Structure 1
Amino acid sequence: MFGTPAGPASGRPVLVVVAHGSRDPRHAATVHALLRRVRALRPGLRVEAGFLDFNTPSVSRVLERLDAEGVRDAVALPLLLTRAFHAKSDIPAVLHEARARLPRLSVRQADVLGPSSLLTQALERRLYEAGLRPGDKGSTGVVLASAGSSDPEAIAVIAHVAREWRRTGWCAVRPAFASASLPRTEDAVRELRADGVRRVAVAPYVIAPGRLPDRIAQGAHASGADVLADVLGPAPELARLLVRRYEAARATRQVAALSA
């Protein structure tokens, strides 16, 4: 099912949001809820979802349909928080293959979502929805729990996000990972307790539910965290960030066209 109708003469590239995909049905449902919010922010923009694995339509299938409709310009936006393997390898490979088969369709890959102050605003939104108040920041330590990666750049970005977020007033912010890297969520919670932090909250730095977010939640419960926030999901800040990344990719394309 395609989103907002738009013909090839609409003047704006189609936004193709590239999601990882999951066997967990909550994943695709969350992606589509987020895209509905993006469409509400930009009613004239055509927004489509394509998945790398497990769910349909695939990214290739979305691009094929756009080409068949006469669309000539698209922005592929990775629904990813860091530049790890999928952003550096999987998505470029899929787009390269599509460009070779669909030479009339121009596709530019946008930047990943993080880091961004909009993401930390969304994290705080989820923590407040889970029961914290703004006045609790100074006495609360936060575990910034991400899915995890073996990519050093991605791990460094998570550490950077934790340091910068700590400077906004939290008692402490510790990174943690559900896979590939250490510490695990439960270990980070216990480390904060050992440091004398009175209240510990876990903020999942993930977009949609699934196996790894469930692992984060299990670690939070097992270690007795006081607060467990929901995943970022269709947070309004995340929708605004998608629009921002799309507009940046579109502007880069326009500059390149003018200088050609």
Structure 2
Amino acid sequence: MTALITLSHGSRHPRAKEGIRALTEAAAEKLGVEWADAHLEFDRPTLAEAAAALSSPRAIVVPLLFTRAFHAKVDVPAHLTEAREHCDLTLAEPFGTGPDIAETLHKRLRIDAPSASHATLFPVGTSDAEQAANYARLADNLARLAGIDVSVVQATRGDRRFVDRHTHVLPLFVTHGTLLDRIPPHLSASGPLTTDLADVVANRYRTAEKDA
């Protein structure tokens, strides 16, 4: 049996790891496989530690990343090389910002703020122009699904201007993080996506398993 390992960025937030574990367990339950969570920094286990602790001889690693910037291009391959000393690992595609993520956000919006007339997508942020454009495309896709205007405010770019004080904020966060504290308290806001992403993780696993 091929195990599932999720690989998160990691966070100093005290509740970050519990969200990752809940997501990983929910996805593994859908797949019926052994699971482990791993982290690039701040949290443990590392990918190598998680791979070494598995009873399964093989695992598929799903990066819990919405961008294909530095972490996806540099950190993930480096951690994968080290971890392959302990287990036969296949790397799945990260989350990205495609249609399945737009649909996940739309489902959350319908639950948390079904009558919202405006939404603000709130990602961690990036200095990469291509990734910033991907955020904009995700907002456009979400706007088409929801039938309302959707803006983008990046948490790490110093832009905390929410264009509509009556907006509903949708964090593009896998789990709890210190940057979520930047959402103004007077605004309506959802929490991190956590287990809402279980189907996406399971689908990334299945695709990687089929293509391996």
Determine the C-alpha separation between the residues in 2 that align with 1:167 and 1:126: 15
Deviates more, 1:23-32 or 1:162-171: 162-171
C-alpha contact (below 8 Å) 1:22/1:54 kept by paired residues: yes
Displacement of 1:54 after TM fit?
1.9
Q: Greater relative contact order (Cα 8 A, min sep 6): structure 1 or 2?
A: 2
CA distance in structure 2 between the partners assigned to 1:169 and 1:106 by the alignment: 42
Specify the alignment match of 2:192 in structure 1: 231
Assess if the C-alpha contact under 8 Å between 1:203 and 1:230 holds in 2: yes
Residue of structure 1 aligned with 2:119, choices 136, 142, 153 = 142
Partner of 1:15: 4
Q: Which residue of 1 aligns with 2:175?
A: 208
Answer whether contact 1:74 1:108 (CA < 8 A) is retained: yes
The alpha-carbon deviation at position 112 of structure 1 amounts to: 0.7
Distance 2:203 2:34 in 1: 15
Report how far residue 167 of structure 1 moved: 1.5
CA contact (8 A) 1:127 1:228 kept: no
Q: Which residue of 1 aligns with 2:25?
A: 36
* TM-score (ref. length: structure 2): 0.90
Give the residue type in structure 1 aligned to 2:190. A
Aligned Cα root-mean-square deviation (Å): 2.0
| C-alpha separation in 2, matches of 1:25 and 1:56 | 13
Q: Which amino acid aligns with 2:12?
A: R
> CA separation in 1, counterparts of 2:102 and 2:141?
9
Separation (CA, whole Å) in 2 of partners of 1:98 and 1:127: 38
Partner of 2:136: 159
Structure 2 spans left out of the alignment, 5+ residues: none
> Over alpha carbons, which structure has the higher Rg?
1
Q: Distance in 1 between matches of 2:15 and 2:192?
A: 11
Match of 2:107 in 1: 125
Instruction: Kindly indicate whether the alpha-carbon contact (under 8 Å) linking 1:142 and 1:170 is maintained by their aligned counterparts in 2.
Output: no
Instruction: Report the identity percentage.
Output: 28
Instruction: In structure 1, list runs of 5 or more residues that go unmatched.
Output: 1-9, 194-198, 254-260
The one-letter amino acid paired with 2:198 is: A
Describe the SS at the equivalent of 2:195. Answer: coil
Give the secondary-structure state (helix, strand or coil) at the position aligned to 1:234. Answer: helix
Q: Matched residues in 1 for 2:110 and 2:36: separation?
A: 31
For residues 152 and 89 of structure 1, the distance between their equivalents in structure 2, rounded to whole angstroms, comes to 18
Q: 1:167-217 CA distances to partner (integer Å, 9 max, x unpaired)?
A: 2243311111010x36x2x41x23x46xxxxx41111111111111222x2
1:47 and 2:44 are equivalent in the alignment: no
